[in-house]
Amino acid sequence: MFLAINPIAFAIGPLSVHWYGIILGTAALIGLLLAIQEGKRFGMSPDFFMDLVLIGVPSAIVGARIYYVAFKWEDYQDNLWDVFAVWKGGIAIYGALIGAIIAAVIYVRRKGYSFWRIADICAPGLIIGQAIGRWGNFINQEAHGGPVAESFLRNNLHLPDWIVNQMLIEGQYYHPTFLYESLWNVVGLLLLFVLRRRSFLRAGELFFGYFIWYSIGRFFVEGLRTDSLDFTGPSWLAALMNGMWSPMKALGFEPGFMTYGGNVRISQLLAVLIVLAAIALIIVRRRTGAASERYSDPIVRIGQAPEEASGAGNVDTRPDGNKEADVKAKE
């Protein structure tokens, strides 16, 4: 008989270390390394990004929990202590992004930089972090889609045994939605790598591109899941969401059931709104001149002249005054 992967990686006395935590930690570390590497091109200190992660990760956890609890308040209003019981599940990625962005805006502004310039550098780290983090859901056998036949996983998707076996949950196989989203994000990472070297890219647009790409994928993957936060909305809105998701049906996929009996998935609706908002912001910022800076321009502190930054390589962000970084900042 097949045994699922043990979610506990190892134990030290009474302390159990879960694979989920290890995977999330790895995701954060790789995202940080990507940001540090790109930041060096602009003469940014690695310490700046390490501090940003130390502030952003706890803020993301708090934001993710607040988001989930806000939409499921009826489950917590009579037992407030459960609000803090994150080990019982109940966090949301969009809430994590909101929490992390709020913390990043405050931190970056206090350091005297433009949020959009720093957000652009961090965008690839965010999307690869999500790609890796989804494998924590795989280990925990959670955030999966609706039921499927074993033959679909083996013959249609050609998945290896270790993935197929892990998708067998209480005698039933399920859509590996973690895998769909993870692969989508890996492709998105490659796309961001290409975009950030294009001369037409303006400040903030790589960050917006990340949100557009991620939200498109999330919209379609979310429709397969069976644990979505949902609500009962007007019939026209439900019809619109279903119509936009219809290409998945044409490909032979069936939507997962609504967890809470609603007719609109919150993450799907939010994904659509984010895509529209990101596109609108790109257009407005270009037309109003707010996006006059290009991605390749030197990163300067607010109030600092660009020629000062290009000449000094943002020395005030690098205690060692590395002259090699000065040259890279000019390129």
Average pLDDT in the 96-122 region?
95
Which two tokens mark 75? 């489950």
Instruction: Tell which residue, 327, 278, 315, has the closest CA to residue 116.
Output: 278
Instruction: Name the residue with higher pLDDT: 300 or 243.
Output: 243
Residues contacting 242, CB < 8 A, separation 6+: none
- Residues 249-300: pLDDT tens digits? 999 899 999 988 899 999 999 999 999 999 999 999 999 999 999 999 999 8
Q: What amino acid is encoded at 207 in this protein?
A: F
pLDDT at 79: 77
- Residues 131-184: pLDDT tens digits? 999 999 999 999 999 999 999 999 999 999 999 999 999 999 999 999 999 999
Q: What amino acid is encoded at 120 in this protein?
A: D
Q: What amino acid is encoded at 36 in this protein?
A: I
Instruction: Tell which residue, 114, 64, 139, has the closest CA to residue 285.
Output: 114
pLDDT confidence bin for 241, thresholds 50/70/90? very high
State how far the Cα of 274 lies from the Cα of 281, in Å rounded to an integer.
10
Task: Indicate the angle between helix axes 93-110 and 115-140, nearest 10 degrees.
Answer: 150
State how far the Cα of 120 lies from the Cα of 44, in Å rounded to an integer.
13
Residues in the annotated binding site: 134
Helices and strands, counts by H and E, the chain: 12, 7
pLDDT confidence bin for 65, thresholds 50/70/90? confident
pLDDT at 304: 62
Alpha-carbon distance values, 251 to 16, 49, 60, 179, 255 (Å): 42, 42, 35, 17, 12
Considering the entire predicted model, what is its pTM? 0.86
Where are the chain's structural domains? 16-113, 114-297
pLDDT at 298: 94
Q: What mean pLDDT, rounded, does the chain reach?
A: 88
